[in-house]
Amino acid sequence: MKEAIIRLFERRMTRIAFVIYCAFITVHYVSTMIYYYGMDVWKVPIPALLTLCTDMSTYGYYFIQMFPVIAVVPGAFLFMADWKSREIVYLQARSGRKKYVWNTVAACFWGTIIFYAIPMLVQLFMFCIMIPSGARHNLMLSEPYNREYLSLTERYLFPDLYNYNVTLYMVAMILLFSILTAILACFALLLSMIIRYYYTILVFLPVYLLLMGGVWLKEIVKLPFETNYYFYLNFLESIDERIYPLIGFVLILCILNLLMTLFVIRRDEVI
């Protein structure tokens, strides 16, 4: 698996995507710091609330809007790169088909987590050390222990953790976001192993249709639960009534990923 992860990050596409992603996060960080520069400390938000996927981040809105496309980058393209270059022949001959498949899926999963989590965690750390410790502004312009504010935070995914330490809450949300992204990337990767697209760009399609299908479905059919992915990716969105659809969605994806992995392993021909 370690070699597969190294191979993933040695790809030119991965390096370009990582530079673009880090540049986007850097622009978000710099523009945010410029905006709050010289402002009274009581008007400055809690540093952790300024991370990318929150309501207080302008760039976060665009990031979440682009998520159906960027979620598969870079891990989901690992198999297609091996297959197109015919490097898969050497890799499978050296380690065997079964080990190759498991290593590729594991590299996609852990590589995606590393790709998305580390820049976000670094950005969070930079906000925490650069913004004054007295910054306590929140989304409701109220005191941290205001009843109305506490009633809002009770609907977050980890309300007790949020009220205990907002920074730790954001670390947990960043890790969960990265894990969800990794599961989606593995879904796209395994479909590319089964279908073997003629055009590599089609690797983007399954996750895009899956996430945007939820947005379109909500507009066509009245459902008792939210299907718009945006409300699940926002770290500060009330999720109490949406937790069960989210858990169900993740479990179904994990089961599908496992079944597809076993199918690819047992199929007579992988190349």
Per-domain boundaries in the chain: 2-266
Q: Tens digit of pLDDT for each residue in 40-91? A: 666 677 777 778 877 667 787 788 888 888 888 888 888 888 888 888 777 7
Q: Which residue has the tokens 């409300």?
A: 231
Tell me what pLDDT residue 114 has: 92
Query: What is residue 137's three-state secondary structure?
Result: strand
When pLDDT is averaged across residues 184-208 and rounded to a whole number, the result is: 89
Q: Tens digit of pLDDT for each residue in 93-107? A: 787 888 888 989 999
Q: Which two tokens stand for residue 92?
A: 């499978």
DSSP 42: G
Q: Which residue has the tokens 């718009």?
A: 228
When pLDDT is averaged across residues 211-216 and rounded to a whole number, the result is: 84
When pLDDT is averaged across residues 200-216 and rounded to a whole number, the result is: 87
Q: What sections of the chain are H helices per DSSP?
A: 2-10, 12-36, 58-70, 78-85, 87-95, 97-130, 147-153, 159-164, 166-195, 205-220, 230-233, 243-266
Tell me what pLDDT residue 150 has: 61
Q: Tens digit of pLDDT for each residue in 125-152? A: 888 887 766 666 555 444 555 555 666 6
Tell me what pLDDT residue 127 has: 83
When pLDDT is averaged across residues 166-193 and rounded to a whole number, the result is: 91
Tell me what pLDDT residue 141 has: 46
Tell me what pLDDT residue 243 has: 76
Using alpha carbons only, what angle is made at residue 187 by residues 260 and 119, rounded to the nearest 5 degrees? 145
When pLDDT is averaged across residues 113-123 and rounded to a whole number, the result is: 92
When pLDDT is averaged across residues 195-200 and rounded to a whole number, the result is: 83
Q: Which percentage of the chain shows pLDDT scores above 90?
A: 18
Confidence of residue 110 (pLDDT cuts 50, 70, 90): very high
Tell me what pLDDT residue 42 has: 65
Mean pLDDT for all residues in the chain: 81
Q: Which percentage of the chain shows pLDDT scores above 70?
A: 83
Would you say residue 12 has pLDDT above 90? no
Would you say residue 270 has pLDDT above 50? no
Task: Identify the residue with better confidence: 176 or 41.
Answer: 176
Would you say residue 193 has pLDDT above 70? yes
Tell me what pLDDT residue 134 has: 60
Tell me what pLDDT residue 112 has: 92
Q: Which two tokens stand for residue 234?
A: 């926002």
Using alpha carbons only, what angle is made at residue 249 by residues 205 and 153, rounded to the nearest 5 degrees? 115
